[in-house]
């Protein structure tokens, strides 16, 4: 089951909840103040492979940030 991150609009608390995908956008009460006035936020993560970052969005205009053979960007 995925873990989703939420922010409370009333107290500003950030919290996580393990929920089925079909319930990801359904209302959930804040774990701090119990307010139902919350929203799901984007989760940020980092991944690395052999010491290289594989989540970078930096790149050139022709490959839009991914690896490509036209410019040799990795």
Write down all domains in the chain, each with its CATH number in brackets. Answer: 3-43 (2.20.28)
- Please tell me whether residue 42 adopts helix, strand or coil conformation: coil
Task: Please give the model's pTM, rounded to 2 decimal places.
Answer: 0.60
> In whole angstroms, what separates CA 53 from the centre of its chain?
17
CB 29 within 8 A of CB 17: no
Percent of the chain with pLDDT over 90: 54
Could you report the per-residue pLDDT of 25-41, keeping only the tens digit for each? 999 999 999 999 999 99
If pLDDT is split at 50, 70 and 90, which confidence band does 52 have? low
Which residues contact residue 10 at a Cβ distance below 8 angstroms, ignoring those fewer than 6 apart?
30, 33, 35, 37
């Amino acid at each position: 089951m995925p873990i989703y991150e939420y922010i409370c609009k009333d107290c500003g608390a950030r919290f996580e909840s393990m929920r089925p995908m079909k319930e990801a956008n359904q209302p959930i009460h804040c774990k701090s103040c119990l307010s139902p006035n919350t929203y799901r936020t984007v989760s940020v993560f980092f991944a690395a492979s052999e010491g290289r970052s594989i989540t970078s969005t930096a790149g050139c205009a022709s490959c839009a940030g991914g690896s490509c053979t036209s410019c040799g960007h990795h």
